[in-house]
């Protein structure tokens, strides 16, 4: 080092926050989750709890709260949590999104997230492994890739799990937040596709774990309707025109092959029709090179 050359300034620590939405019906689970976030090693994780149509009560001192007068759904609630960290979440460099009945069993998860983001500037989103707290097992549907037989294998992926993930806040600055109108189902895939088209990478990390009880997604009353409607919106918003009928045709055949009950199929078909008749927001079809990237990663945007 020459005498007149100043040493490089140390890199600023990666600032990490967390957004948790709740409807106020799991106070014990929420408190256990907040305690697990507080136990994380390294710099403290700033936390915002969003009351989605219910006031937030009983949280520890230092936890910020946002009370929404009505339930805005999962994407709307999480967007409110993002904005609580400044426009687009800019008060921090990355945000954890955690289900209020989840739990971080390991104390190094936040540090692993920081290292992953600082070690790879092109990494935009990290999907955690969800495991049942009693059995330790991970359901196949919780591994965001087609080759899901081995949940312990980390890999690059094309989507992520909505209630167990971390997002670099620069992603929101570039592509926007979650689609409010979706309310529930596929909102994370919509964000993932926009992030991929902007050049960001997404990783599934088996070593970053969220404990979550095993529950069927169909427990939500509007599950079948929203799944179908939002798939149509997902395609209309993001896919090149030639792929829209292919994607939706594949999912129609897959749905029929699963032999849903009459009531479930009726709800699904009603949602499918609504997806075509109701505005879905701005259309920004991904580039064909993004389609090719996703195909090389093992999941072309037709399934």
Q: How far is CA 208 from CA 36, 149, 189, 236, in A?
A: 13, 18, 20, 33
Q: Is residue 4 part of a domain?
A: no
Question: Mapping DSSP to helix (H, G, I), strand (E, B) and coil, where does residue 166 land?
Answer: strand
Could you tell me if 226 and 99 lie in one domain? no
Mean pLDDT, rounded, for 182-191: 97
Residue 10 structure tokens: 């140390």
Q: Is residue 64 part of a domain?
A: yes
Mean pLDDT, rounded, for 86-114: 97
Residue 64 structure tokens: 């910020």
Q: Is residue 1 part of a domain?
A: no
Beta bridge mates, 21: 50
DSSP codes of every residue in 37-106: HHT-SSSPPEEEEEEESS---SPPTT-EEEEESS--HHHHHHHHHHHTTSGGGTTSSEEEEE-TT-B--S
State how many domains the chain has: 2
Task: Tell me the pTM.
Answer: 0.93
Could you tell me if 100 and 160 lie in one domain? yes
Q: Is residue 165 part of a domain?
A: yes
Tally of CA atoms within 13 A in the half-sphere of 189 that contains its CB? 22
137 Cα distance to chain centroid: 20
Q: Is residue 48 part of a domain?
A: yes
Task: Give the pLDDT score at 1.
Answer: 39
Q: Is residue 271 part of a domain?
A: yes
Q: Is residue 302 part of a domain?
A: no
CB atoms within 10 A of CB 265: 16
Q: How far is CA 145 from CA 35, 140, 181, in A?
A: 31, 9, 25
Could you tell me if 202 and 233 lie in one domain? no
Q: Which domain-ending residue is among 178, 196, 215?
A: 215
Rounded Cα distance, 294 and 290, in Å:
6
Q: Render pLDDT for 39-86 as a digit per residue (tens, 0 to 9).
A: 999 999 999 999 999 999 999 999 999 999 999 999 999 999 999 999
The CATH code of the domain that includes 128 is 3.90.550.10
Residue 220 structure tokens: 């939500």
pLDDT band at 222 (very low <50, low <70, confident <90, very high): confident
Could you tell me if 29 and 134 lie in one domain? yes
Residue 283 lies in domain: 218-296
């Amino acid at each position: 080092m020459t005498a007149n050359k100043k040493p490089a300034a140390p890199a600023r620590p990666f600032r990490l926050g967390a957004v948790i939405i709740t409807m106020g019906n799991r106070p014990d689970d929420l408190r256990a989750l907040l305690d697990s976030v507080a136990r994380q090693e390294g710099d403290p994780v700033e936390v915002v709890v969003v009351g989605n149509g219910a006031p937030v009560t009983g949280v520890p001192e230092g936890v910020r709260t946002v009370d929404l007068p009505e339930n805005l759904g999962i994407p709307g609630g999480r967007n409110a949590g993002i904005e609580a960290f400044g426009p687009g979440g800019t008060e921090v460099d990355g945000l954890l999104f955690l289900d209020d009945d989840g739990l971080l069993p390991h104390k190094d998860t936040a540090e692993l997230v920081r290292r992953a983001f600082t070690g790879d500037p092109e990494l935009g989103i990290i999907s955690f492994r969800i495991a049942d707290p009693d059995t330790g097992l991970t359901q196949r549907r919780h591994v965001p890739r087609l080759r899901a037989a081995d949940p312990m294998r980390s890999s690059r992926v094309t989507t992520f799990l909505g209630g167990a993930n971390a997002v670099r806040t620069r992603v929101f600055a570039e592509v926007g937040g979650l689609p409010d109108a979706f309310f529930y189902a596929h909102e994370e895939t919509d964000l993932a596709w926009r992030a991929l088209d902007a050049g960001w990478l997404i990783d599934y990390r088996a070593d970053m774990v969220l404990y979550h009880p095993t529950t069927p997604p169909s427990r939500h009353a509007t599950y079948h309707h929203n799944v179908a409607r939002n798939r149509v919106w997902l395609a209309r918003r993001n896919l090149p025109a030639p792929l829209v009928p292919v994607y939706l045709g594949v999912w129609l055949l897959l749905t029929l092959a699963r032999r849903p009950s009459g009531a479930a199929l009726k709800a699904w078909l009603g949602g499918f029709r609504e997806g075509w008749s109701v505005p879905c927001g701005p259309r920004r079809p991904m580039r064909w090179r993004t389609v090719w990237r996703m195909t090389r990663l093992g999941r072309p945007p037709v399934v």
